[in-house]
């Protein structure tokens, strides 16, 4: 019965069979020996013609399989060769293997499940294998799924930039806004990354012409590239990026005020309070904030402007939003806080693209909810030293991939 169970997990069918199972008490590992019946008729792996076995590969190979009773399990096999009239001598692969992998398919399937849920170092410890091997497994299955992505229906994109290796290298993420999944992870943050994605889009059934809306930040490299490569798309500046401009200005105001006041520590300690949106403040925080605003009037003023941006985004229709934008802009210009005045000019330069957010529900929907998903993926990908591993992890977490690897359950 145990043999049957093992054969099942390895996908073995006649003429393959399990010739022996051994528990090594020294190394605490289980060894399974797989053979193929003598005289078995085997189809040629290349052309499918019926052939006969023609010897074996010179040396036995070993694959790591899923643990048995918590003991690591290793599968041994000398795979046969066949002599085909069309193809000559051909090496036959075992049913449980993927070419060039030292792990069985089911082990890889289990590894993919584990990887989606925990940091790679933890996954490696749990699976008792090295991180490098796990990255290889992940890259293989992720790349296969990414290459097979059907991009026919993609019409709305969100473009986000991030970095890996602690701010050294930039990475561009391209997201399907309707399905909320990452479609592409490119190294760099320039026009070239969008060009490459436009090409991938065409290669996988979609079309740059079908893209109706794109959200992005205000980056000088993205904006012209969006117009160039997605000519029919409405370009919307992402709400979160607009907010970031104001939050950064607020932080500059706070830092300057901190230098000029006697109680520097009070402001430094309370700085996070100014980052909480008005609507999310508890009664206690709200009272503390009022107090802080009295003690640090410049930071308090900057905070009220940021809250004003939230009010602007609560506009229900375009005319309301246009009025809101105008009054926010004039408020910022007159506020006597240099960073805020500069932020006002940044907003004005991108006025149309910021207001595009209010055109319809579709453009609105692009901005919502994606950010948190991307943050989760980025957190998970952190710690990868090379770009490929980093990108694979983002795809795995946020790509909603159709993985072809067999799942153990
Ligand atoms: Zn053949």
Whole-number Å distance, alpha carbon 94 to ligand 1 midpoint, is: 17
Q: Is there a domain that residue 243 lies in? A: yes
Parent domain of 175: 154-236
CA of 49 to the centre of ligand 1 (A): 6
pLDDT at position 279, please? Answer: 85
Same domain, residue pair 70 and 81: yes
Do 272 and 293 lie in a common domain?
Answer: yes
Phi and psi at 191, nearest 5°, equal -60, -35
47 alpha carbon to ligand 1 midpoint, in Å? 4
Instruction: Clarify whether residues 227 and 254 are in a common domain.
Output: no
For ligand 1, the distance from its centroid to the CA atom of residue 9, given in whole angstroms, is: 28
> Is there a domain that residue 392 lies in?
no
- Which parts of the chain register pLDDT below 70? 166-167, 362-371
For residues 285 and 176, state if they share a domain.
Answer: no
Q: How far apart are CA 55 and CA 109, in angstroms?
A: 31
| Residues 285, 259 share a domain | yes
Same domain, 255 and 342: yes
Boundary of a domain, candidates 203, 236, 269: 236
Residue 385 lies in a domain: no
Model pLDDT for residues 76-134, shown as the tens digit of each residue: 999 999 999 999 999 999 999 999 999 999 999 999 999 998 888 899 999 999 999 99
What confidence tens digit (pLDDT) does each residue in 168-199 have?
A: 788 899 999 888 899 999 999 889 999 999 99
Among residues 236, 268, 294, the one where a domain terminates is: 236
- Do the domain assignments include residue 384? no
Q: Are residues 296 and 190 in the same domain?
A: no
- Does residue 349 fall inside a structural domain? yes
Split into its structural domains, the chain has a count of 3
Task: Assess whether 220 and 244 both reside in one domain.
Answer: no
pTM score of the predicted model: 0.86
31, 64, 97 - which closes a domain: 97
* 139 part of a folded domain: no
CA of 358 to the centre of ligand 1 (A): 62
What is the predicted pLDDT for the residue at 369? 62
Residues 299 and 340 in one domain: yes
3-state SS string over the chain? CHHHHHHHHHCCCCCEEEEEEEEECCCCEEEEEEEECCCCEEECCCCCCEEEEEEECCCCEEEEEEEECCEEEEEEECCEEEEECCCEEEECCCCCECCCCCEEHHHHHHHHHHHCCCCHHHHHHHHCCCHHHHHHHHHHHHHHHHHCCCCCCCCEEEEEEEEECCCCEEEEEEEECCCCEEEEEEECCCHHHHHHHHHHHHHCCCCHHHCCEEEECCCCCHHHHHHHHCCCCEEEECHHHHHHHHHHHHHHHHHHHHHHCCCHHHHHHCHHHHHCCHHHCCHHHHHHHHHHHHHCHHHHHHHHHHHHHHHHHCCCCHHHHHHHHHHHHHHHHHCCCHHHHHHHHHHHHCHHHHHHHHCCHHHHHHHCCHHHHHHHHHHHHCCCCCHHHHHHHHHHHHCCCCCCCCCCC
Are 359 and 247 contained in the same domain? yes
230 and 243 together in one domain: no
Position 388 in a domain: no
| Residue 396 is assigned to a structural domain of this protein | no
Give 89 Cα–ligand 1 centroid separation in angstroms.
8
Same domain, 285 and 309: yes
């Amino acid at each position: 019965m145990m043999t049957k169970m093992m054969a099942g997990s390895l996908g073995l069918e006649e003429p393959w069979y399990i010739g022996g199972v051994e528990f090594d008490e020294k190394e605490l590992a289980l060894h399974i020996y797989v053979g193929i019946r003598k005289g078995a008729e085997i189809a040629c792996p290349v052309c499918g013609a019926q052939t006969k076995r023609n010897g074996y590969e010179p040396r036995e190979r070993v694959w790591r399989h899923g643990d048995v009773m918590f003991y690591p399990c290793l599968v041994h096999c000398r795979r046969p060769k066949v002599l085909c009239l069309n193809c000559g001598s051909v090496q036959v692969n075992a049913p449980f293997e993927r070419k060039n992998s030292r792990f069985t398919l089911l082990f890889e399937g289990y590894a993919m499940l584990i990887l989606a849920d925990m940091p790679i170092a933890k996954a490696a410890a749990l699976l008792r294998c090295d991180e490098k091997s796990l990255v290889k497994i992940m890259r293989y299955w992720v790349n296969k799924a990414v290459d097979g992505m059907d991009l026919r229906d993609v019409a709305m994109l969100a473009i986000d930039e991030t970095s890996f290796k602690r701010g050294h290298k930039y990475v561009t993420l391209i997201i399907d806004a309707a399905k909320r999944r990452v479609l592409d992870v490119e190294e760099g943050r320039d026009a070239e990354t969008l060009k490459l994605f436009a090409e991938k889009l065409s290669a996988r059934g979609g079309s740059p012409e079908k893209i109706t809306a794109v959200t992005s930040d205000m980056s000088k490299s993205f904006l012209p590239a969006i117009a160039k490569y997605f000519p029919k798309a409405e370009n919307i500046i992402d709400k979160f990026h607009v907010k970031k401009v104001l939050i950064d200005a607020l932080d500059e105001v706070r830092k300057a005020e901190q230098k000029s006041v006697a109680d520097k520590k009070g402001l430094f300690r309370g700085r996070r309070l100014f980052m909480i949106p008005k609507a999310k403040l508890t009664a206690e925080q709200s009272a503390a904030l009022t107090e802080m605003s009295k003690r640090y009037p410049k930071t308090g003023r900057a905070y009220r402007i940021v809250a004003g941006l939230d009010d602007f985004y609560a506009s229900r229709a375009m005319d309301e939003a246009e009025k809101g934008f105008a009054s926010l802009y004039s408020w910022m210009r007159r506020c006597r806080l240099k960073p805020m005045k500069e932020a006002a000019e940044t907003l004005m330069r991108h006025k149309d693209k910021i207001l595009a957010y209010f055109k319809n529900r579709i453009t609105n929907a692009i901005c919502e909810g994606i950010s948190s998903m991307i943050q989760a993926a980025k957190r998970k990908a952190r710690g990868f030293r090379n770009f490929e591993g980093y990108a694979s992890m983002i795809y795995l977490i946020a790509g909603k991939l159709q993985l072809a690897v067999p799942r153990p359950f």
